[in-house]
Amino acid sequence: MVDGKVVVVTGAGSGIGREFALAFARSGASVVVNDLARGAGGEGFMADAVVAEIQAAGGRATASTDSVAEAASATRIVEAALDAFGRIDCVVNNAGILRDRFFFNMSVDEWKAVMDVHLNGAFYVSRAAAPHFKSQGGGSYVHMTSTSGLIGNPGQSNYAAAKLGIVALSKGIALDMARHKVRSNCIAPWAWTAMTASVPTDTPEALARMEKLKTMEPRKIAPLAVYLASDAAAEVSGQVFGVRANEIYLFSQPRVIRSVHRSEGWTPESIAEHAVPAMRTSFYDNVPSPTLTTWDPI
């Protein structure tokens, strides 16, 4: 479905990103495998190993070991696609890290590190590709979000803020670049990876959730990313999808659901007496994301 296209996948040295790179290559795309991580023992970049795997199977790929967290290095990731393959058709913003800690203990460095990789990184790489998409009259962005941002999870306020920010970034890109036939969508994945393995399991509920997560394979996420990069998805933009084993979800987006009015205007007292009681039945429960996906993966 993406034969002849050139795709940049960030954070593609392992986990979901690796599965994306392999799937795109199998579907005919040339792939820039971006990852700055080194393999076990610190010898060799993981991106190089994925490139070798793709090339051994007859695919086309090149490695990039630049960081997404700085504008200059993110630009070099896009330039790697142009240098190797002469164009760029899709950016998959997958690179990520975790620095989990309860909000009241979170350091500024832990906040900034997650923001720099997830939210700033998604902007930097996307922005670097934008002029090329615009000039060629088409392109696709696939951004990885998370139910931590869409719904919420304890101990992840930095990650949740970044991931929900990515949804807003994607929506802005979809609106701003629609006239140039550029699409932007998000995927919230459920999968067991090295990154999710680092999530604390200090309660029975968290441990049970992690055991369930282990049954969800990263490769199950890849087909949706390939589809969103293909011409078959030409009319799909500004959406938020989820993949959980063999299930694909479409997430809702914020819309006005209730309204109350007083012709004389509001006071704090009338809000307490009238507005909030009228809306309370439509309030959302303050619960973490596992509470809303109680069934086993299908």
Q: What is the pLDDT of residues 42-67, one digit of tens each?
A: 889 999 999 999 999 999 999 999 99
pLDDT of the residue at 40? 82
Catalogue the E-assigned strands of the chain: 6-10, 30-34, 60-64, 90-93, 139-144, 182-190, 240-244, 247-250
DSSP label at 61?
Answer: E
- 251 and 240 Cβ atoms separated by less than 8 Å: yes
Q: What is the pLDDT of residues 253-290, one digit of tens each?
A: 999 999 999 999 999 999 999 999 999 999 999 999 98
pLDDT of the residue at 83? 98
pLDDT of the residue at 202? 67
Judged against a pLDDT cut of 60, whether residue 198 lies above it is answered with no
Percent of the chain with pLDDT over 90: 85
Kind plus residue range of the DSSP H or E element containing 265: none
List CB contacts of 16: < 8 A, sequence separation 6 or more: 94, 144, 189, 191, 193, 218, 221, 222
| CB half-sphere exposure, 172, CA atoms < 13 A | 11
Lowest mean pLDDT among 2-11, 22-31, 184-193: 184-193
pLDDT of the residue at 135? 97
pLDDT of the residue at 206? 64
Q: Mean pLDDT over residues 144-160, rounded?
A: 96
Catalogue the E-assigned strands of 30-132: 30-34, 60-64, 90-93
Q: Mean pLDDT over residues 162-183, rounded?
A: 98
pLDDT of the residue at 271? 97
Is 227 noted as a catalytic residue in this protein? no
What domains are there in the chain, each with its CATH number? 6-253 (3.40.50.720)
- Average pLDDT score, the chain: 94
pLDDT of the residue at 43? 83
Judged against a pLDDT cut of 80, whether residue 292 lies above it is answered with yes
- Top pLDDT among 18 and 207 is at 18
Distances (CA, A) of 31 to 6, 36, 88, 159, 214: 6, 16, 10, 27, 28
Q: What is the pLDDT of residues 76-132, one digit of tens each?
A: 999 999 999 999 999 999 999 999 999 999 999 999 999 999 999 999 999 999 999
- 61 and 33 Cβ atoms separated by less than 8 Å: yes
pLDDT of the residue at 295? 85
Q: Mean pLDDT over residues 221-249, rounded?
A: 97
pLDDT of the residue at 201? 61
DSSP label at 297?
Answer: P
Judged against a pLDDT cut of 80, whether residue 213 lies above it is answered with no
pLDDT of the residue at 216? 80
Spot the catalytic one: 141, 159, 227, 284. Answer: 159
